[in-house]
Amino acid sequence: MRRVGFWLVMGLLTGALTACPRGEDAAGTLQVDILGLPAGTRVTVEVVGPNGFAQQLTQSETLTELAVGSYLVTAGAVPGYTAAVVGSPATVSAGATTRVSVTYQVSGVGAGGSISGTLSIVGTAVEASAAPFVPGEVIVKFRPGVRAQAVGALERLRDLPLEGVGLYRMAAELRAQSTDLETDTLRLVAQLSARGDVVYAHPNYLLEAYAEPNDPRYAEQWHLRAVNLPAAWEQTTGSADVTVAVIDSGVAPTHPDLTGKLAAGYDFVSNAQFSGDGDGRDGDPTDPGGDFHGSHVAGTIAAATDNGVGVAGVSWGSRILPVRVLGRDSGDLADAVDGILWSVGENVPGVPTNPNPADVLNLSLGGPFPCSSSQAQSLQDAFDRANEVGAVVVVAAGNDGADASSSTPASCGGVIVVGATTLAGTRAPYSNYGARIAVMAPGGNLSGDGDANGYPDGVLSTVQNPAGEADYAYFEGTSMASPHVAGVVALMKSVRPTLSGAEARDILKTTARPITDPLCAVGCGSGLIDAAAALAALETPAAPDFALSLSPATVSLAAGASVSTEVLISRSGGFTGEVAFSVSDLPSGLSASFTPSATSGDSTRLTLSATTGVTGEYTLEVQGVGDGISSTVPLSVVIEGDEPDLDIAGSYVFACPTTARVCNVGRLPAVRIETGGSSADYTIPDVPAGDYNVIGWNDLNTNAQVDNGEPIGAFPTINTPSVVNPPASGVDFTLAPALGTQVGVQGSLKGR
């Protein structure tokens, strides 16, 4: 690990230049010292002597074996400086060293001396985000009546169809200054989140599909039988009045198993650079190529069936609404929010109204970040609105082989989270798991051929081959599991159009078949879905019941702070009773309270409070009980420790000439702060006369260069530095993590 090393040019470099002897009496030495200039300043000092001797010096030099006699030393001009030559003309004698000094000082200032003051430091370091996002873009919700123009660091890109929510970009000036736009984006999010006029702010995270394709081929669809669909089709094959939105990468509209199945969709990918179709938003949700992930998902849900070609779909009587939010490699959160809200009939600025609002939404996509109030509240708001209008949201759990509470949208509230199983009915090794999982469905495993039919045990559905022809391929992933559930929900909606998301989730869970696989010890929900049993449950007159959901379903708070989430009650079967609430699995140091603690209404607010000594990630169980009926829902909680305050120790204070284009720290008068704490006195000794900016910097990662997020400051402030002439005292200022590089006081900084 390298640390910034400071050194001063002492003006002595022996043996650098020699002069040829000038006759037999040549035996003298002349030392010329050039002083007072910042390192790197161009200067020429001329030395003229006997026998036609002439030499130009650009730095302090020792001239040896000179002819005895008189030497004239002349100082070259340096803009902004005056020079004093002491000892010239100089007489060089045999066997002796004669010294001449050339001292430069800034014009019009005093003789130099020390610079002293008090240096303070504030703020905390910014943690890097493991989840990818669009650098420079943030999603912000302002409080009512607040105008975004109040934040000079932002440029509005567009409004999202949520009250007070918009997509913003870091101001052009800050983007131009930045050398690490990702870090600066996180710092901007932190600064916005701390404002009283901001409800939430988070990066515009990137989302990607949850699947891995294989070579195209056709074989039997074991995965449809695995969830008892043949028996379910005896009851219904789906209704054209039920529309399923496939919020994905688009579809192949000319595929014979999709032709005639598609409602008019929309392409919401706004960034033409990775859209794959060469343009931005438009009314054509065609998948331009790649793995045809969205087409595969759409085929599983509602491929044309009994048409003599291809494959069968789960709810083949239903329609597909293609909503394209993924480009060739990924998509961003803002586009996904727009796509979700448009799919359920909400107005999106600049986009035609959707004439076919969806009853069911499938999202086989996601990202490695929690759906918490500080990370993805805009997405949670979109799901809340979808639930309010009666849509059922089904999402893939993710393919990281990890707890689903760490990914989005699986950690969001108001969604049915689906994990993946193999042909053998076990949890697929890639499938996410945990308390967020509601049910499991076939996702396949391309590494096996358990039925020995010569084909990998993936999920078979509709794609397009590289030649642009309709084809079929095996994929694996929770992306393939989720559309099985979305299709079954579409069948259920065909029988009971008023079915809510909470009701659908409860029915799927109560009719699922438990999985005894040891891999499910970490959480596979209620087990593998049973389509026929779920439909049969709808035939029985609905008994009084209720189901709980959370908004958000993942919360984060700092130790010593509080956070709230809304507990929503979905009533069915005429249930009107009072519901009382409790929380289990609370760790020591975390308390919970409900307002109200019991209600006959549709919601209550749960507030969690953490003491200063508790940190970590926890899954709590929120329970409601009323009239002998109970319902539970998991709540993911992240308690973050207090970020340590930045320490003044290790900071450098240095004097940078106002004429310098580059403040090269290692070659300037400087002092290192050795004592810890939030402030310390400093003194920079022996500063040559001149005009200076006094700058402070703490090289936190010891890489010898100034990085964004590192504490930096100048006297009196980094944005309005003042000239300091030594000697000077009371030069007090503060270091703080900067937004943008903000290091160009008179140029740029370098570590060495």
Catalytic (active-site) positions: 248, 293, 479
Strands of 532-615, DSSP E: 545-551, 554-558, 562-572, 579-584, 590-595, 598-599, 603-610
Give bridge partners of residue 473 from the DSSP assignment: 216, 461
Amino acid present at 149: Q
What is the CB neighbour count within 10 angstroms for residue 130? Answer: 8
Residue carrying the six token digits 């009980």: 625
DSSP conformational letter for 67: P
**In angstroms, rounded to a whole number, what is the distance separating the alpha carbons of residues 330 and 59?**
57
What is the CB neighbour count within 10 angstroms for residue 86? Answer: 12
Rg of the chain over all Cα atoms, to the nearest angstrom? 35
Q: What are phi and psi of 143, to 5 degrees?
A: -70, 155
Residue carrying the six token digits 């219904």: 236
Angle, vertex CA 385, rays to CA 483 and CA 206, nearest 5 = 60
**In angstroms, rounded to a whole number, what is the distance separating the alpha carbons of residues 733 and 135?**
31
Which residues lie closer than 8 Å to 445 by C-beta, 6 or more apart?
Answer: 422, 423, 428, 429, 456, 457, 458, 476
Element (H, E) at 687: strand 679-687
Angle, vertex CA 45, rays to CA 39 and CA 49, nearest 5 = 150
Contact 589, 610 (CB under 8 A): yes
Query: Residue 373, CB half-sphere, CA atoms under 13 Å: how many?
Result: 20
Q: In what order do the strands lie in the sheet with 679-687?
A: 670-672, 652-657, 692-697, 711-714, 733-737, 113-121, 679-687
